[in-house]
Amino acid sequence: MSCVLQAEGLTKRYHHAAALDGLDLQLPAGKIIGLLGPNGSGKTTFMKIAAGLLTPTTGQITVCGQAIGPKSKALVSYLPDRNCFSKRMKVAQMLDCYQDFFPDFDRARAEDMLSALAIDRDARFQTLSKGTQEKVQLVLTMSRRARLYLLDEPIGGVDPAARDYILHTIINNYDPDATVLISTHLISDVERVLDEFLFLYQGKVIRQGEADAAREESGKSLDELFREVFKCLPNC
Amino acid sequence: MNWKFSGDRPVYQQIMENIRGSVLRGELPPGGKIPSVRDLAAQAQVNPNTMQRAMTELEREGLLVSGGTSGRTVTTNLEVLSDMKEQILEDLARECAEKFMVFGVTPSQAAQRLLALDQKKEEMK
């Protein structure tokens, strides 16, 4: 029963182009789920709607039974695919900001992770490398005790060692009540941590299932399956 | 334990093979304690649900014994252990035979080759 997110007929149009086209989706609790799809398939649009940054053109979406609004935002920890802070802020100020905004923010956990990644709290955000900026934002996102984590391309810009650390963080934060939704193109890097996967194409879910079941059935990795499924589709 | 996974097979099955191997090699002795699912998942860098599934399956096979709150241990039932060893060796032999067959070498010819290999080693000494 326990569904963390429920979407029905979710559609988002930008003028005439539909980024999401009648998307139906239920995300169970306690799972790590991969949101996989080619560029322009609607992954970021879906996450932004669930995070409350965009309103859908039509359709319904709820998080833990709450309509999108202040109550749902308190339950959702969102990692955007770009920087969302003023570049002049210091890392410590970003921690303060999260502490102010989110009652579920665990500052000690964030400080631990920053230390593990050797990130200076007094550094200004703009002086950090692109990869380090991404790490800081991920640390903030994962330090909340949320019910739903939306991670938009969390490992895209970081080195392989930091990728391992990020995956390690996601595994260590595992909470049977919370669900983590990860969108990425780097499927081979994340696939061993995924319970389930969703293939998104032209704003619709075209395939979903359990990662191990798919491997058993097809004898292929999710990465190979992705390449196969999206190879035969036009316009991608 | 050495955690390496290939992507094209279910991860939980690979975990099971890995743990069976550790028991057979004596790294996990009969009656030995198994770390918690959470610790193992962190070590292997896999999803805790996947690790849980592998543990449950190994319990069903009888290799691991659930001790309630005190955690899991390796079975002390020697019959289960020897059956498992038998099974693994049989699988290995079958796989080996299939590989030889690709080159048209029958199992008995393959056996002779293995023996010859052994003799060579003896002579080296």
In a domain, A103, yes or no: no
Q: Which residues form the domain of A23?
A: 3-77+148-231
In a domain, A111, yes or no: no
The C-alpha of A90 sits at a distance from chain B's nearest C-alpha, in angstroms, of 31
Helix axes A130-142, A107-116, angle to 10 degrees: 150
Q: Is A124 exposed, middle or buried (0-12, 13-18, 19+ CB in 10 A)?
A: middle
- Within 8 A of B38 by CB-CB distance, chain A residues are 174
Q: Which of B28, B40, B25 is nearest to B64 (CA)?
A: B28
Q: Which of A76, A26, A35, A13 is nearest to A194 (CA)?
A: A35
Indicate the helix (H) or strand (E) that contains A67: strand A66-67
pLDDT in tens, B62-121: 999 987 777 899 998 888 889 888 988 999 999 999 999 999 999 999 999 889 988 888
Q: Is A109 exposed, middle or buried (0-12, 13-18, 19+ CB in 10 A)?
A: middle
pLDDT in tens, B18-56: 999 888 888 888 988 999 998 999 889 899 999 999 999
Asked if B50 lies within 8 A of A174 by C-beta distance, the reply is no
Confidence of residue A233 (pLDDT cuts 50, 70, 90): low
Contacts of A170 (CB under 8 A, 6+ apart): A32, A142, A151, A180, A182, A193
- Cα dihedral B111, B112, B117, B118, rounded to 10, equals 80
Decide if B113 touches A, using CB distance below 8 A.
no
Beta strands B64-66 and A3-14 are: unpaired
Contacts of B88 (CB under 8 A, 6+ apart): B20, B21, B24
* Tokens read off for B114: 């293995």
Confidence of residue B6 (pLDDT cuts 50, 70, 90): confident
Decide if A174 touches B, using CB distance below 8 A.
yes
Mutate to test the interface with B, among A32, A169, A191, A212 (most CBs of B within 10 A): A212
Among A172, A193, A219, the residue with its CB nearest the CB of B8 is: A219
Contact A117, A157 (CB under 8 A): no
* Tokens read off for A42: 């609607």
Contact A136, A94 (CB under 8 A): yes
Q: Which of residues 81-110 of B touch A (CB under 8 A)?
A: none
In a domain, A105, yes or no: no
Q: Which of A223, A227, A222 is nearest to A211 (CA)?
A: A222
Number of domains chain A contains: 1
In a domain, A216, yes or no: yes
Does the reported pTM lie above 0.90?
no
Max distance between CA atoms of chain A, in angstroms, equals 51
Contact A131, A97 (CB under 8 A): no
Decide if A194 touches B, using CB distance below 8 A.
yes
Q: How many CB atoms lie within 10 A of CB A115?
A: 10
The contacts found for A82-87 with CB under 8 angstroms, 24 or more apart, are: A83/A125, A83/A133, A83/A137, A84/A137, A85/A125, A85/A137, A86/A125, A87/A124, A87/A125, A87/A126
Confidence of residue A168 (pLDDT cuts 50, 70, 90): confident
DSSP conformation class of B65: E
In a domain, A215, yes or no: yes
In a domain, A86, yes or no: no
Domain with A217 in it: what CATH number? 3.40.50.300
In a domain, A28, yes or no: yes
- Within 8 A of A222 by CB-CB distance, chain B residues are 7
Reported ipTM: the value is: 0.76
